[in-house]
Structure 1
Amino acid sequence: MLYYTFYQKNPASHYIYVDLKIEGITTSQLKIHLPVWRPGRYELGHFAKHIKKLEARDVQGNTLQCSKYSPSSWTISTAQCTEVYLSYSYYAAEYNAGACYANAEILYINPVHCCYWAEGFETKAHFLQFKIPEHFKIATALPLQADNWYKAETYDELADAPVICGLHLQQFSYTVQSTRFFIHFSGPCSPDWIKIKAHFEAFTQAQIQFWGSIPVDAFHFLVLLLPFKFYHGVEHLKSTVLALGPAHQLNDSLYDDFLGVASHELFHVWNIKTLRPESLLPYNFLNAQYSDCGAVYEGFTTYYGDKLLYASGVFNWIQFKTCMEERLQKHVHNYGRFNLSLAETSIDTWLDGYVPGVPYRKTSIYDEGSIMAFMLDSTIYFNTNGRFTLADVLRYAYQSKARTQGYVLQDLADWIQQACAIDLRQALHDWLYTAFDFQNVVVQQWARFGVALCFMPSPQHSESRYGFGLSDSTVNRVAPYSPAWHAGLFNNTQIISVNNHKAELNVQALIEQQSENNQHICLQVLQEYTERTCTLQVKPQTARYYPIPVLNIINQTLFDQHQYFFKH
């Protein structure tokens, strides 16, 4: 068994200190490892880079040889000891939903980042304890034992169980279908619990009904409320961490984001934590595990995280359509949709899935995956005269052998055939395996519900007329073959002047002013430490770049006739 003790010496340093006791050793060599990635973020993280001074000793305190043989693996010469004691520190200064953070007010860990595992002990019990100030509270899904140790039955369970120890922790709970749900708020806040409880009960009920059952007895929402603008969530089987900010806006402008990320992460209990691709069964924490199924485990989750908020009555039509418009806007603004398929994008999360990457290269398993889910959902609905939806397909998969044996992307067509008796192989091939522009087909599909999908000009003249976006005075995107593209603008170009008017404060306003009654503007720019002049020429009837999608009900009767689709 393994026993981890966590404590701090100087909270301001961000270092967490760990003492680890490994007992029951029967070999002369013990191999230990630290994960190189974490489930939920499909890229290499190499968490060993945060480790400082790993030491090994026997029960008498004698130093044991500890040799590193790869960036995240060590061999310990046990000298026939049955117990080994490790000590090390971990630099915890990443305040997000998937990492570790420590200061005077919080000790927050994701064990997958900072807990070594020992070969041969993966299925043994792992215990944690925390030496923290008396006024701190603890939030985690791990069960507390009588002796103040938290217990994980295996290393996999430990790696999947984040822990928050903090000064500002508030706990609330609710029950749906005999399952207890806890919401832990970390950070100074005054949650509107009556409203939160009603909304969480509603979407939780909708999700359990969607799948038919829930594979856990209890579930914990661990909510990190931050003082700055932030939005992040990470899924686990028995819990989730939600990181949101600014905290003081929780009950106001941040509230829809709070509901959205909570619904999304809860849906992951089924879709990825239980129903999982074959290539991710079991998790291999020492190597990348590539999967082309990201549209299923992230795209479908994004879609249903929003749709079930609407189906449960938590979101109204305006809130739901706003979510759909946001996904569509990201799609039509992303020229990578012409260059990389969803299946390839899923594999490439390990390359550049969590950074902007090079221009025009890739799509998103979240955004394009969500749009593809809507297309699949509505296509099934109309092709079966409203008898089936994508929900029936996912329930079939969840109840089949895929739940225990994993699945491959090609199984999706078989699930549809088995659950709905229709063949969508060609559509799935186009949507998943080719670089596909969903814009026109989504317009047609929404029209079948009595909803018009229109594309309005961007209010930013730099975008709609000239094809480039700005962050302050710096170019952050350029549409291919636009006036900006032809003039030689590219990312990180700095605008110095517009028609000889110095660009000081509001560059957009200056561009709009100088564009009035003009078919071109002249920009003085700084590119790669060199000043140059760019002339952007707008031709009559030119294309409009970076349009804004807007969904409007134009046939209320038709829309009302199809409410079954939106409620399932």
Structure 2
Amino acid sequence: MYYLLSSPNPESRFIEIECTFLDVETEYLEIQLPAWRPGRYELQHFAKNIQRFGVFNKNNEPLTYRKITKDRWRVETGAETEVVVRYNYYANVQNAGSSYVNNDFWYVNPVNLCVYADAFLNQPCTLQLAIPDTYQIACGLPQIAPKTLFAKDYYELVDSPLMASETLQHRTYQVQDTTFYVWMQGNIKPNWEQIVADFQKFSAAQIAVMGSFPEPEYHFLNLILPTPYYHGVEHRHSTMVVLGPDDEGDGLHLDLLGVSSHELFHAWNIIRIRPKELLPYDFTKENYFTTCFVAEGVTTYYGDLFLRRSGVFNDEGYYRELQTYMKRHFENSRHAQQSLVESSWDLWLDGYEKGIPQRKVSVYHKGALAALILDLTIRKIHNHKRSLDDVMYALWQRFGIPFVGYTMEDYQAVVEEIAGETLPWYWNDCILSNLPLENHLNDALTWVGLHMVSFGDGTVQLQELGSEPAVLERKKWLNGNI
């Protein structure tokens, strides 16, 4: 598939798309636009942003087509072997999963606006941008010609957001065989020395645990806005992050560290260590799965923990982040009716909305606390010789590197293998039921000299305990034995 993106009037916020299908061999072709995007498990109906749509042959003669679903078109190709689809897309949103264009800046998530046909999903894709010669392009895809990007297949294309402008800034660093790029777009003068030093530390710590990195290059794409914002989305060889406000100083740097460490761990956990239900992605409908507490909860736990292990955060900085998702879970949904597996499934229903009171739990916050309980449980059983690190490494070796996908049963089996026990209390109380986590959490925390205190008004606070043996266990946990 060949895509040409242009915007003759960028201030209109419309991007013009031309998609060409070659070697068409059927009498009809069904053209599909994704209804959702990886990393956010809800239907977003991108077709609502298309204003104009048409289909033509290679001589620019219109072909007959009709819409058969909200985002699928059936084209009568006849004897035509080349089909050209021309349409436009309203790109007027700046979050980490959207697209946006103006006179000075392009931001494109191809999953929003690139159509496909089922028979062409595994064929190479070329994406050409009609942008000024002075623009740089920040993207995980290779440039095979000026302003032209190449993807091995459609799945790689739509997992590769891009930014383009004259004012992009970037630096690089190296960890083992991987080159990392940090890109910045916005009204900001980055402290590059501090950014590169901190990013290199947490990247190295993550790779040390997982053993290898999935890609030879990785790109942190950062859009810094003048207004408050905090959003990141994981991709195959990049992450797209939107942060603000641009005058926040140290607060902005802390936000950048937190979201970047989280998104980098996704390069293993969900991008490659992926639930079997998501292999391959079906962009036409919901892809239900029960293990988003692993994909997002474990990642949330490790995102902050790796900042502490690598020395980017001190103890107090890590406790602050740990207390944040304790407060968000216990103060908002301590008595919610759903379990983690139920809320994982129902992400497609209302997972990103506030929802009705005490119905669902956050797979991020409760999922992170469940991961903490599991990590400390395994460490206590084996005196730190085994941990959740070993679980994630085993998942990477068995399901991520061969890219075969795991099930809930696979995850449970690996956990129990590493723990050396079946842990029925953990699966029943922490994962499969809606029982409060407080007792199990404090049982785990007490071993490392910490305690969560609940007050009468429903608020919670993390406190340190003074036992010398517990402090020693805490140091082993926070340092990760690396």
**TM-score normalised by L of structure 1:** 0.82
What residue number does 1:107 align with? 106
What residue number does 2:328 align with? 330
Structure 2 Cα separation of the partners of residues 119 and 345 of structure 1 = 31
Structure 1 Cα separation of the partners of residues 334 and 9 of structure 2 = 47
Q: Which moved more, 1:290-299 or 1:552-561?
A: 552-561
What residue number does 1:20 align with? 19
Structure 1 Cα separation of the partners of residues 335 and 206 of structure 2 = 31
What residue number does 2:93 align with? 94
Aligned residues: 479
Q: Which moved more, 1:389-398 or 1:262-271?
A: 389-398
Q: Indicate how the Cα distance of structure 1 residues 231 and 239 shifts in structure 2: closer, same or farther if over 3 A, else same.
A: same
What residue number does 1:348 align with? 346
Structure 2 Cα separation of the partners of residues 310 and 553 of structure 1 = 19
Over residues 187-211 of structure 1, what are the superposed CA-to-partner deviations in whole Å (9 max), with x where a residue is unaligned? 1211001001110000000010111
Q: Indicate how the Cα distance of structure 1 residues 12 and 546 shifts in structure 2: closer, same or farther if over 3 A, else same.
A: farther
2:381 touches 2:419 (CA, 8 Å); kept in 1? Answer: no
SS at match of 1:88: strand
Over residues 210-236 of structure 1, what are the superposed CA-to-partner deviations in whole Å (9 max), with x where a residue is unaligned? 111111110000001011000000001
RCO comparison, higher one (Cα < 8 Å, 6+): 2
Structure 2 Cα separation of the partners of residues 93 and 84 of structure 1 = 28
- Aligned-residue identity in percent: 36
Q: Which of 467, 470, 476 does residue 564 from structure 1 map onto?
A: 476
1:455 touches 1:550 (CA, 8 Å); kept in 2? Answer: no
Structure 2 Cα separation of the partners of residues 418 and 103 of structure 1 = 53
Matches within 5 A, 1:78-89: 78-89=77-88
Structure 2 Cα separation of the partners of residues 323 and 551 of structure 1 = 13
- 1:190 equivalent to 2:189? Answer yes
What residue number does 1:418 align with? 417
- 1:400 equivalent to 2:312? Answer no
CA positional deviation for 1:421: 1.8
SS at match of 1:75: strand
2:429 touches 2:437 (CA, 8 Å); kept in 1? Answer: no
What residue number does 1:266 align with? 264
Q: Indicate how the Cα distance of structure 1 residues 216 and 300 shifts in structure 2: closer, same or farther if over 3 A, else same.
A: same
Letter in 2 for 1:281: L
In structure 1, list runs of 5 or more residues that go unmatched.
457-543
What residue number does 2:204 align with? 205
Structure 2 Cα separation of the partners of residues 90 and 551 of structure 1 = 51
- 1:171 equivalent to 2:158? Answer no
What residue number does 1:246 align with? 245
What residue number does 2:298 align with? 300
Q: Which moved more, 1:359-368 or 1:126-135?
A: 126-135
Letter in 2 for 1:334: N
CA positional deviation for 1:399: 1.1
What residue number does 2:312 align with? 314
1:413 touches 1:424 (CA, 8 Å); kept in 2? Answer: no
Structure 2 Cα separation of the partners of residues 557 and 129 of structure 1 = 61
Letter in 1 for 2:163: I
CA positional deviation for 1:33: 0.3
SS at match of 1:191: coil
1:389 touches 1:565 (CA, 8 Å); kept in 2? Answer: no
What residue number does 2:457 align with? 545
2:51 touches 2:87 (CA, 8 Å); kept in 1? Answer: yes
SS at match of 1:120: helix
1:58 touches 1:84 (CA, 8 Å); kept in 2? Answer: yes
Structure 2 Cα separation of the partners of residues 559 and 21 of structure 1 = 63
CA positional deviation for 1:60: 1.5
CA positional deviation for 1:558: 2.8
Structure 2 Cα separation of the partners of residues 91 and 337 of structure 1 = 41
Structure 2 Cα separation of the partners of residues 166 and 68 of structure 1 = 36
What residue number does 2:364 align with? 366
1:37 touches 1:285 (CA, 8 Å); kept in 2? Answer: yes
Letter in 2 for 1:114: L
Letter in 2 for 1:445: A
Structure 2 Cα separation of the partners of residues 173 and 337 of structure 1 = 46
What residue number does 1:430 align with? 429
Structure 2 Cα separation of the partners of residues 425 and 400 of structure 1 = 24
SS at match of 1:247: coil
SS at match of 2:357: coil
Letter in 2 for 1:93: N
Structure 1 Cα separation of the partners of residues 98 and 228 of structure 2 = 17
1:453 touches 1:550 (CA, 8 Å); kept in 2? Answer: yes
| Larger-Rg structure | 1
SS at match of 1:256: helix
Structure 2 Cα separation of the partners of residues 221 and 553 of structure 1 = 38
Letter in 2 for 1:368: K
CA positional deviation for 1:289: 0.5
CA positional deviation for 1:103: 1.5
Structure 2 Cα separation of the partners of residues 174 and 316 of structure 1 = 23
Structure 1 Cα separation of the partners of residues 437 and 419 of structure 2 = 23
Letter in 1 for 2:112: H
**TM-score normalised by L of structure 2:** 0.96
What residue number does 2:273 align with? 275
CA positional deviation for 1:12: 1.8
CA positional deviation for 1:427: 1.4
SS at match of 1:404: coil
What residue number does 2:214 align with? 215
Over residues 152-177 of structure 1, what are the superposed CA-to-partner deviations in whole Å (9 max), with x where a residue is unaligned? 11000001010111232111110000
Matches within 5 A, 1:398-547: 398-401=396-399, 404-455=403-454, 544-547=456-459
What residue number does 2:59 align with? 60
2:452 touches 2:460 (CA, 8 Å); kept in 1? Answer: no
1:336 touches 1:359 (CA, 8 Å); kept in 2? Answer: no
Over residues 384-413 of structure 1, what are the superposed CA-to-partner deviations in whole Å (9 max), with x where a residue is unaligned? 222211111111121124653211112223
In structure 2, list runs of 5 or more residues that go unmatched.
none
1:331 touches 1:337 (CA, 8 Å); kept in 2? Answer: no
What residue number does 1:464 align with? none
Structure 2 Cα separation of the partners of residues 205 and 228 of structure 1 = 32
1:168 touches 1:188 (CA, 8 Å); kept in 2? Answer: no
Q: Indicate how the Cα distance of structure 1 residues 371 and 447 shifts in structure 2: closer, same or farther if over 3 A, else same.
A: same
1:392 touches 1:420 (CA, 8 Å); kept in 2? Answer: no
Structure 1 Cα separation of the partners of residues 435 and 473 of structure 2 = 30
SS at match of 1:270: coil
Structure 2 Cα separation of the partners of residues 262 and 145 of structure 1 = 28
SS at match of 1:398: helix
2:299 touches 2:368 (CA, 8 Å); kept in 1? Answer: yes
- 1:42 equivalent to 2:5? Answer no
- 1:228 equivalent to 2:227? Answer yes
Structure 1 Cα separation of the partners of residues 171 and 122 of structure 2 = 32
Structure 1 Cα separation of the partners of residues 122 and 360 of structure 2 = 39
